[in-house]
Every structure is written in C-alpha cells, then in structure tokens.
C-alpha cells in the first residue's frame, strides 16, 4: 500500500513539474495530447542545455513548444516533429541520440567493459589452475608424515 501511494505521489509530482511551464493546451484527441507531452519531454532546449523544452521557460523553449503543438495539431506524427527539429537544431535537440559512428560508444562501451571483465576473470582463474606445485624433498616427507598422522587418528 505504501509503495502504491509513493508511486502515485511521484507520478503526480512529475506531472505537476512538467505542467509548471507548459501552457494550457487544448487537444482534439487524447492521442494528440500524449504525443505532444512525449515530444516536449524528449526535445532538448538548445539555449538552456540541460533542460527539456517542457522544463525550460526560455523564450526559445516556448517557441519550440508552440511549433510542436502546431505540428501535432496539423496531424504530423511524433517522428515528423522530431525530424523537423533535428533538421534545424541538429541531433543535439533530441534526448535520444541516433546510433552513428560518433555515438556508437554509448552502446558498445558497456558491452566492451563487461567483455574485458569476463576475459580478465577467466584469464586469472586459468593461470591459478595451471600453477603446478613442486615440493622439495623435505616438504614431501612432511606431507607423508601428515597423511600418516591423519590415517592413524581415524
């Protein structure tokens, strides 16, 4: 029960925070509304670089929200609005970077790190196993003594 209440609280706060800046908008369908809110929380404000256009109250963020709204209401899909923004402001404007040569490290670095880890561990385990112990004569005698003692006790 507590968990559910916490979740409800967090979701309400998140909705409130994104509505803090966004203007009152009217939509014809619920789908349009959803696309619009997805867009403004996914597009990054180029002026205030660590905020989405929903978070920012910079005039430019408002312009971009207005444009997103107009395009959504004109029947454009989410991808069309994103393409429009990327064509003008670059990949920077979208919080989901496209997979390119320059961004490939975002996808492959974790795999590489895990791969290196596995390699390192197998290497270490293997080298431990291969260590052959050669005992000197004294040690050999001591070992025999110990084994003898162990069988005598039982």
Partner 1 sequence: MSKTTRLLVLFIPLALFLGMTLFLLRGLFSDPTELSSALVGKPVPEFQLPDIYDTDTLHTEAVLQGQPLLLNVWATWCPTCRAEHEYLNQLAAEGVPIIGLNYKDDSREKAVNWLNTLGDPYQLNLYDEQGKVALEFGVYGAPETFIIDAQGHVVYRHVGDVNERVWEAKLRPLFECLQQGAQPCEL
We find the least distance from the C-beta atom of residue 6 to partner 1, in angstroms, to be 35
We find the least distance from the C-beta atom of residue 58 to partner 1, in angstroms, to be 9
We find the least distance from the C-beta atom of residue 69 to partner 1, in angstroms, to be 14
We find the least distance from the C-beta atom of residue 91 to partner 1, in angstroms, to be 8
* Residue nearer to partner 1 on the CB measure, 8 or 110: 110
User: Which residue, among 80, 109, 86, has the nearest Cα to 98 in the 3D structure?
Assistant: 86
Q: What sign does the CA torsion over 12, 14, 17, 20 have?
A: negative
What does the binding site for partner 1 look like in residue numbers (CB under 8 A)?
46-47, 49, 59-60, 63-64, 67, 86-92, 127
Distance (Å, whole) CA 88 – CA 135? 75
* Residue nearer to partner 1 on the CB measure, 22 or 56: 56
Which residues on adjacent β-strands are paired with residue 44? 52
* Residue nearer to partner 1 on the CB measure, 59 or 75: 59
* 35: Cβ contacts below 8 Å, ≥ 6 apart: 72, 77, 78
* Residue nearer to partner 1 on the CB measure, 9 or 108: 108
């Amino acid at each position: 029960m507590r968990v559910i209440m916490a979740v409800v609280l967090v979701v309400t706060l998140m909705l409130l925070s994104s509505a803090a800046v966004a203007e009152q908008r009217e939509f014809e369908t619920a789908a349009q509304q959803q696309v619009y809110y997805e867009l403004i929380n996914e597009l990054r404000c180029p002026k205030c670089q660590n905020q989405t256009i929903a978070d920012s109250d910079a005039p430019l963020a408002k312009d971009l929200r207005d444009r997103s709204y107009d395009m959504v209401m004109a029947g454009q899909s989410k991808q069309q609005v994103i393409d429009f923004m990327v064509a003008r402001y670059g990949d920077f404007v979208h919080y989901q970077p496209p997979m390119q040569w320059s961004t490939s490290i975002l996808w492959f670095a974790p795999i590489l790190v895990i791969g290196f880890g596995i390699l390192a561990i197998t290497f270490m385990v293997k080298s431990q196993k291969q260590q052959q112990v050669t005992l000197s004569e004294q040690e050999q005698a001591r070992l025999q003594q110990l084994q003898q003692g162990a069988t005598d006790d039982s």
